[in-house]
Structure 1
Amino acid sequence: MIITVQQHLQQQQQEFGSEASGTFSYLLSGITLATKIIEAKIRTAGLGDVLGAFGAENVQGEQQQKLDVYANQVMLHCLGLRDTVAALVSEEDEEPVTFDRSPETGKYIIIFDPLDGSSNIDVNVNVGTIFSIHKRLPAAEGDLDASILQPGTKQVAAGYVVYGPSTVFVYTAGNGVHSFTLDPTIGAFVTTQENMKMPEQGQYYSVNEANASQFPAGYQEYLRQLREGEAGKAYSSRYIGSLVADFHRTLLKGGVFLYPPTAKQPGGKLRLLYEANPLAFIAEQAGGMATNGTGRILEIEPRGIHQRTPFMVGSRFEMETLAKCLEA
């Protein structure tokens, strides 16, 4: 029997407590709509003038791709129309997009990377969308900025979409991790796996080894142990270069993904709010772990919307082995 993501959410409504009215599922439908529009554009990217650089840099100082701009506009449009949204925070925008909605109506903050790995589009490699959802704080607890800069432990939901051979939507609302695949014949995401669990141990490690000489000594020792079989088995290397795709493989197959600090970027490269936090939330819900090398990713107190962090995530065995190497 086919169960769409909307039907799944309706079945899960009782788990959302006060959100049982359907407000939350209405919000997520804006995300699934946006990602279906982005998926359609990606599928025909080589047939239209949407490949290559846009000609400008984003707030990160990175060259924007045409599809970055398109995906960002789609997310802003589809989510901005939801009256439950108080603010939208995107990798592509220097400042949040806010809406003049009361706390009683505009209950949610959505933080997202509209097109992760977009530099890979030109060579037809998997890309994705990552999102994180927070509840807006009551007026007595802070302004809208305080609602945006909440630690990852305060996320009410997070997820991502992988655009690849099939288009897969994965999310958690703190009640397990669930996966859906876009069925193009009916235009809907349908349930493919519920209550996903990351294997306790995998056989792959994923890291940009071109930077290995710049890693702190503990990470270099960890990689040596993985390669030489001192961590229980000899691991194989798998690195795509699209965060969503590398994480999705780690979620399904186990193992570890690492983006350590380097001499050039001691504070890390990946962004805390819209890359590390949502993926860490999913990993923990699936039985895995995520760290910045000194502590739990989800407990980091954010200082800015584009804050960067080292990010290591994976199966419990690999993550506990990493912790021992970093403590040595």
Structure 2
Amino acid sequence: MRKGMTFTRFIFEEQRRVPESTGEFTLLLNAIVTACKEISDDVNRGQLINVLGSANTENVQGEMQKKLDIISNDIMLKALEWCGHLAGMASEEMENIYPISPQFPRGKYLLVFDPLDGSSNTEVNVSIGTIFSILRCPEGTTDPTEEDFLQAGTRQVCAGYVLYGPATNLVLTTGQGVNGFTLDHDIGEFILTHPKLTIPEDTNEFAINTSNFRYWEPPVRRYIEELFAGADGPRGRDFNTRWVASMVAEVHRILMRGGVFLYPKDSRENIGEGKLRILYEANPMSFIVEQAGGASTTGRERLMTVQPYTLHQRIPVILGARFEVERITRYHLIADSAD
């Protein structure tokens, strides 16, 4: 007999704790998870079914798309447009919002997602994933516009990701802590394996692409130089660095064993205010990290309080161990006050 609670039972038991619940949110989550199981299958069989490699197309940000980017995006749309729980969707891979067809019933939620984060790693068999965030559609709105999606991270109803690696993991928060599940392929169900995940306040591990050092602002360079100095520097201890180039994998590692992740703004023209998208990556991951006891910042302010102004807006992201995030924020504020 397998140990652990299934995701389906977990969600239904959580639903029972909310007397006014209609079950709509629970059914939406189940539909999202079913779509991610299909994506997981395509990722696992990628070389066998010829879905790896470039699609020779660009997304709205001008980035080259992989075949699996397009396939994963289509899976999410087709699995969720008919379910009756959404008023609209927005994806990192699409320029405009995706309205629900008149042939399907409308729901009271909006979904934003990155269908395949870290897809540049598909050919080298490195962990990648799907990130999603659920928002409430404004009351009385049946045909949402782009503006309805532009909600600060603090207004998220739910955030989660599915990591496609040696195991397929689902991590989820509805604002009541963070729980992790592992897909049992034999029965096709996610099983609760990591209840009540927490991030240690301190850490000796950090993740950042150090090849971009020369482009960073002085506060970030100051922080990284201190870590590189190790036991001989002002921090008085050694630090380890990690970099996977997949935000899902980076955040998952932090949830499992601690750490801090940085993708700051820099001076390159194509980066500017940041690389990661606030709606599809930064907000959902910040929600998860904060619910696990960590912190998230742009370097100057709490990330989830930032009001988005465009669908594909980018933002600097620093998240993870609370003490380290607070230190980096302090360095930014010191530098700004000296200007």
Give the alignment's TM-score, normalised by structure 1.
0.95
Q: Cα offset for 1:233? A: 2.5
Query: For structure 1, which segment, 169-178 or 250-259, has the greater mean C-alpha deviation from structure 2 after superposition?
Result: 250-259
- 2:337 aligns with none
- 1:212 aligns with 213
Q: Separation in 2 of the partners of 1:15 and 1:91?
A: 33
Q: Cα offset for 1:256? A: 0.7
Q: Separation in 2 of the partners of 1:50 and 1:111?
A: 24
Q: Which amino acid aligns with 2:210?
A: E
- 2:195 aligns with 194
Identity of aligned residues (%): 41
Query: What does residue range 61-80 of structure 1 map to in structure 2 within 5 Å?
Result: 61-80=62-81
Cα contact 1:149–1:304 (8 A) shared by 2:
yes
Q: Separation in 1 of the partners of 2:33 and 2:199?
A: 24
Q: Cα offset for 1:187? A: 0.6
- 2:178 aligns with 177
Q: Separation in 2 of the partners of 1:13 and 1:187?
A: 22
Query: What does residue range 107-256 of structure 1 map to in structure 2 within 5 Å?
Result: 107-139=108-140, 144-229=145-230, 230-231=234-235, 233-256=237-260
Q: Separation in 1 of the partners of 2:251 and 2:122?
A: 18
Q: Which amino acid aligns with 2:117?
A: D
Q: Deviations over 1:82-118 (max 9, x none)?
A: 10111110011110111257xx952000000000011
Query: For structure 1, which segment, 152-161 or 92-101, has the greater mean C-alpha deviation from structure 2 after superposition?
Result: 92-101
Count matched residues: 326
Cα contact 1:15–1:175 (8 A) shared by 2:
no
Give the alignment's TM-score, normalised by structure 2.
0.92
TM-aligned CA distance change 1:114 to 1:8, over 3 Å: same
Q: Cα offset for 1:162? A: 0.6
Q: Separation in 2 of the partners of 1:48 and 1:306?
A: 31
Q: Separation in 1 of the partners of 2:113 and 2:237?
A: 36
Q: Separation in 2 of the partners of 1:143 and 1:40?
A: 32
Q: Which amino acid aligns with 1:68?
A: D
Q: Separation in 2 of the partners of 1:14 and 1:105?
A: 24
- 1:11 aligns with 13
Q: Which amino acid aligns with 1:77?
A: K
2:313 equivalent to 1:313: no
Q: Which amino acid aligns with 1:249?
A: R
2:36 equivalent to 1:29: no
Q: Which amino acid aligns with 1:251?
A: L
TM-aligned CA distance change 1:325 to 1:231, over 3 Å: farther
Cα contact 2:87–2:144 (8 A) shared by 1:
no
Cα contact 1:180–1:191 (8 A) shared by 2:
yes
- 1:295 aligns with 301
Q: Deviations over 1:195-241 (max 9, x none)?
A: 11111112210000000110000000000112223335311000011
Q: Separation in 2 of the partners of 1:73 and 1:143?
A: 20
TM-aligned CA distance change 1:204 to 1:70, over 3 Å: same
2:89 equivalent to 1:88: yes
Q: Which amino acid aligns with 1:316?
A: R
Q: Which amino acid aligns with 2:154?
A: T
Q: Cα offset for 1:143? A: 5.1
Q: Cα offset for 1:255? A: 1.7
Q: Which amino acid aligns with 1:163?
A: Y
- 1:40 aligns with 41
2:259 equivalent to 1:258: no
TM-aligned CA distance change 1:243 to 1:300, over 3 Å: same
Q: Cα offset for 1:11? A: 1.1
Q: Separation in 1 of the partners of 2:190 and 2:226?
A: 40
SS at match of 2:10: helix
Q: Deviations over 1:219-275 (max 9, x none)?
A: 000001122233353110000111110111112221210001110122101000010
Match of 1:277 among 280, 283, 287: 283
SS at match of 2:157: strand
Q: Deviations over 1:161-185 (max 9, x none)?
A: 1100000000100011010000011
Unaligned runs of 5+ in 1: none
Cα contact 2:35–2:79 (8 A) shared by 1:
yes
RMSD: 1.8
Unaligned runs of 5+ in 2: 335-339
Q: Separation in 2 of the partners of 1:311 and 1:288?
A: 13
Q: Separation in 2 of the partners of 1:17 and 1:86?
A: 24
